[in-house]
Structure 1
Amino acid sequence: MISISKLISRKKTPRILACSVFVLAIAGLLTACSTPSTRGSGYRSSGNISSPYSSPIASFQSVSWQDLPGWQGDDLTQAWPAWLKSCDALRKRNSEINWRQVCAQASSISGRDGRAIRQYFEGNFQVYEVRNSATGKDSGLITGYYEPVMNGSQTRTATYTVPLYGLPKAWKGSKPNPAPARAELMSSGVLKGSEIAWVQDPVAAAFMQIQGSGKIRLEDGRVLRLGYAGTNDQPFKSFAQWLLDRKEINRSQATMQGISAWAKRNPGQVEEMLNANPRFVFFKELPGNVSADLGPNGALGVPLTAERSIAIDLKAMPLGAPVFLSTTRPLSSQTLQKLVMAQDTGKAIVGGVRADYYWGSGDAAGELAGRMKQDGKMWLLLPR
């Protein structure tokens, strides 16, 4: 899953490593869109109810359901499968929050009955507006990520010449400390024999490394899912920042799409750009029959749902919780107001009001994720 927050280095968890999508690169290099106010004069706050959850970086103010902009317009049948996945994990966890009771009630509700789903949430959950404790602001950065999907092969061919590597066999049990940076790794020969797949585009392969996971469509129709296996423990350096420093691109081009376009125009400099990031990510083949449509597992341990899962700062709110998100679509003033589930996390996701929005798998999702860097608001839903 890739995020712009750093074009981006993600977490070291087997999640989709949220590098949320590049936001690809650069948190802070694109102009954020502001969220338009959609509250009408009839909206009102509820009396203050103390949140059963405390956070060192976020504060929570109880509000009414009428305070959620776009709540009535959201098709909750689309969010329901993601909530049931959260329940699958939350039932197994010991928590001061009474997830088990609300999840037990969810099992009796039809996923096709939008009215019943709305009544379920409104009857069993209290809404809390989330604010950043340090600033008191009720808005923050919303980026996007996705799961790369590429054509490839498990053997080198005339078309597929770019390897994706597992952990070097020589490192099993004794990884060097410090481990070599990317340039030295690629020239040392230590990676030989650790190839697990071959793809066509070196830049797309690098983006998959930043993302930390992805799918490879093989020529026989099978789908190979690759998960995060580790790194060389070197610091992450942004491709976008490297290009900006050399005035190769401007800030409006500091996106996954802009970097890819630069690489196509400058094939002779691609390796130098890739070596500017000393970090190297290794993959492992994940077992099981993989559907091209099935999302990768997030930090919660359940498959992510396109446009209904987010990555959050674990210091801000509980993993698995329902969250109402109000922001805008990438490079647009069109509102994006949805019930989502906090099912993932990532190193680049820092702050009380901060989310990485999972767009799904493949190129179309990547286009949206790579351009998303919006202002947004969040409301945490907790059992009454």
Structure 2
Amino acid sequence: MRARLGILAAALMAAQPAPAEMLDFDALDGWYDDNHVEALASFLRTCDLIDDSDWKPVCALAADVPQDDASARSFFELFFKPVVVGDPPALFTGYFEPELDGSPVPTGRFRFPLYRRPPELQEGMAYHTRAAIEGGAIAGRGLELAWLDDAVDVYFLQVQGSGRIRMTDGTVVRVGYAGSNGHSYRSVGQEMIRRGTHTLDQVSAQEIAAHVRAEPTAGRELLDTNPSYVFFRKIGTLDPKDGPIGAMGRSITTLRSIAIDPRYTPLGAPVWIEKDGRAPIRSLMVAQDTGGAIKGMQRADIFYGTGSGAGNAAGTVRGGGRMVLLLPIDRAFAMLDQ
């Protein structure tokens, strides 16, 4: 999803040792009320991809845990230690998989292209900016995967990193992240705050979309302040019931998967989420995704699912709280000894 970084090593990769505190499970607010079977199922989706000696025996045992909540909870309590990395409060936001209307060819209605990755674009290479691409820098080369009827939808599909497109012939095409143009992500919401048109409490995905649609010319210039641009690929192997592909190359799970900063949170690790504010969450999720805007030790983007309902829920999430890593016991003690 969003500017994906690919599969990274499970070991924490911060340049400097991060402040860390080990907790007891009793200290996790709501721990005993969660559905641990669901959390275990999400963990099992990707734990075999964690290439680290501390994780391999834990993952092997996970596959044999009986499918009842007491057994699933006992598994996490026996083989993990809760560790707070960094200093709360955390920042939680939300993302989703859009469902949009589109066409395989340009028409009077469908005029805004989604591009596949240009063949000359190499990993880490700085390519054309968003403004240049939207201005036609790669147009007419046959790189168009589909055409949408709203430039704002194109932008937010890039922010989310994946989506489902209902074509005019009735088929549904799923697209996923295929690379970016190598420019750093800049928040359009922060730019609106900087310009003084909005305050922090007014900024949401819905408000950004409404603001841009109300003033198309100025709105396009606003979107272009984010130079990052995402390219897509068609994904034809996913079951319609499955979520989009995350950074670990497997489908992610509604309200059980999060995007994190892999410098501080290992991809594949269970993470206890205590999100405060509106619609609070107390739930065990799994770090299975990354994003260009997800930076920091106490930072997570929660996957809310597919479609407009998920988008409405995700677009207004901006809350504090605490995120707590669940690390294999040896890894947890090794971190505290750093």
Distance 1:172 1:54 in 2: 30
Which of 24, 45, 62 in structure 2 is aligned with 1:64? Answer: 24
Distance 1:73 1:235 in 2: 40
Q: Point out where structure 1 has 5 or more consecutive residues left out of the alignment.
A: 2-9, 16-51
Distance 2:21 2:184 in 1: 38
Q: Taking structure 1 as reference, are residues 347 and 57 closer, same or farther at Cα in structure 2, changes over 3 Å only?
A: farther
Distance 2:217 2:267 in 1: 44
Shift in Å, 1:197: 0.5
Residue 129 of structure 1 is matched in structure 2 by: 83
Maintained 8 Å contact 2:44/2:62: yes
Maintained 8 Å contact 1:237/1:277: yes
Which one-letter code corresponds to 2:151 in the other structure?
A: P
Distance 1:344 1:110 in 2: 27
- Between Structure 1 and Structure 2, how many residues are aligned? 323
| Residue 298, structure 1, aligned to residue 246, structure 2 | yes
Which of 68, 72, 90 in structure 2 is aligned with 1:140? Answer: 90
Maintained 8 Å contact 2:244/2:252: yes
Q: Taking structure 1 as reference, are residues 194 and 357 closer, same or farther at Cα in structure 2, changes over 3 Å only?
A: same
| Residue 96, structure 1, aligned to residue 53, structure 2 | yes
Which one-letter code corresponds to 1:382 in the other structure?
A: L
Secondary structure of residue in 2 paired with 1:382: strand
Which of 159, 163, 173 in structure 2 is aligned with 1:210? Answer: 159
Farther off after superposition, 228-237 or 304-313: 228-237
Deviations 1:67-111 (A, max 9, x none): 111011111222222011122323xx2x131x2322222222343
Maintained 8 Å contact 1:311/1:343: yes
| Residue 356, structure 1, aligned to residue 301, structure 2 | yes
Residue 19 of structure 1 is matched in structure 2 by: none
For 1:236-251, what aligned pairs fall within 5 Å after superposition?
236-251=185-200
Secondary structure of residue in 2 paired with 1:325: strand
For 1:153-164, what aligned pairs fall within 5 Å after superposition?
153-164=103-114
| Residue 325, structure 1, aligned to residue 273, structure 2 | yes
Residue 11 of structure 1 is matched in structure 2 by: 3
Distance 2:283 2:45 in 1: 17
TM-score (norm 1): 0.74
Shift in Å, 1:351: 2.2
Shift in Å, 1:120: 2.0
Distance 2:265 2:222 in 1: 37
Which one-letter code corresponds to 1:117 in the other structure?
A: A
| Residue 115, structure 1, aligned to residue 81, structure 2 | no
Shift in Å, 1:246: 4.6
**RMSD of Structure 2 on Structure 1 (CA):** 2.8
Identity rate of aligned residues, in percent?
36
Maintained 8 Å contact 2:126/2:182: yes
Shift in Å, 1:242: 4.1
Shift in Å, 1:162: 1.7
Deviations 1:126-168 (A, max 9, x none): 3223131xxxx34321222222221212122343222111234
Distance 2:128 2:261 in 1: 30
Distance 1:337 1:174 in 2: 41
Maintained 8 Å contact 1:125/1:383: yes
Q: Point out where structure 2 has 5 or more consecutive residues left out of the alignment.
A: 330-338
Which one-letter code corresponds to 2:47 in the other structure?
A: C
Distance 1:257 1:153 in 2: 24
Shift in Å, 1:258: 0.3
For 1:220-239, what aligned pairs fall within 5 Å after superposition?
220-239=169-188
Secondary structure of residue in 2 paired with 1:151: strand
Secondary structure of residue in 2 paired with 1:79: helix
Deviations 1:233-270 (A, max 9, x none): 34444333444455444433321100111233224533
Distance 2:129 2:255 in 1: 35
Which one-letter code corresponds to 1:148 in the other structure?
A: P
Distance 2:144 2:83 in 1: 47
Residue 280 of structure 2 is matched in structure 1 by: 335
Distance 1:325 1:236 in 2: 25
Maintained 8 Å contact 1:240/1:259: yes
TM-score (norm 2): 0.83
Distance 2:104 2:262 in 1: 36
Maintained 8 Å contact 1:253/1:259: no
Q: Taking structure 1 as reference, are residues 58 and 234 closer, same or farther at Cα in structure 2, changes over 3 Å only?
A: closer
Maintained 8 Å contact 1:86/1:321: no
Shift in Å, 1:350: 2.3
